[in-house]
Structure 1
């Protein structure tokens, strides 16, 4: 296999690669290789990480919605701190 050295990777890309590595508990090299394969059409897109709330979808049940509303009203009744 060939080795390729990448230089001048911008901070935003670096942070995203590192975040994916942390989320999946993968080595950074594995993340980069997977993303390259994916972008070249040689691999499936990364599946959502279980527990990643940003990727969850669905609806609340009535009891959950009522409980959330009750909690919000309780928070609104708390006194605000002085600045």
Structure 2
């Protein structure tokens, strides 16, 4: 495998990469490779996000939980469109 070296990288960018690596439990070279691959997919592809099975399951569970929020005039109405009034 080819070594990837970042020279004169912005310290803020390096810190962001380091934080992603730490939060995911990746070594810095793994994180850099993964982030490059994902970035290339976005620019080469149609820009859509593709989730792995665990991510898709977590998103589906979160959506299902939100759908169970009881109807009330406050929180449950966020993001919902009211049906047109029969005038």
Question: TM-score by structure 1 length?
Answer: 0.47
Determine which structure has greater relative contact order: mean sequence separation of CA pairs < 8 Å that are 6+ residues apart, divided by chain length: 1
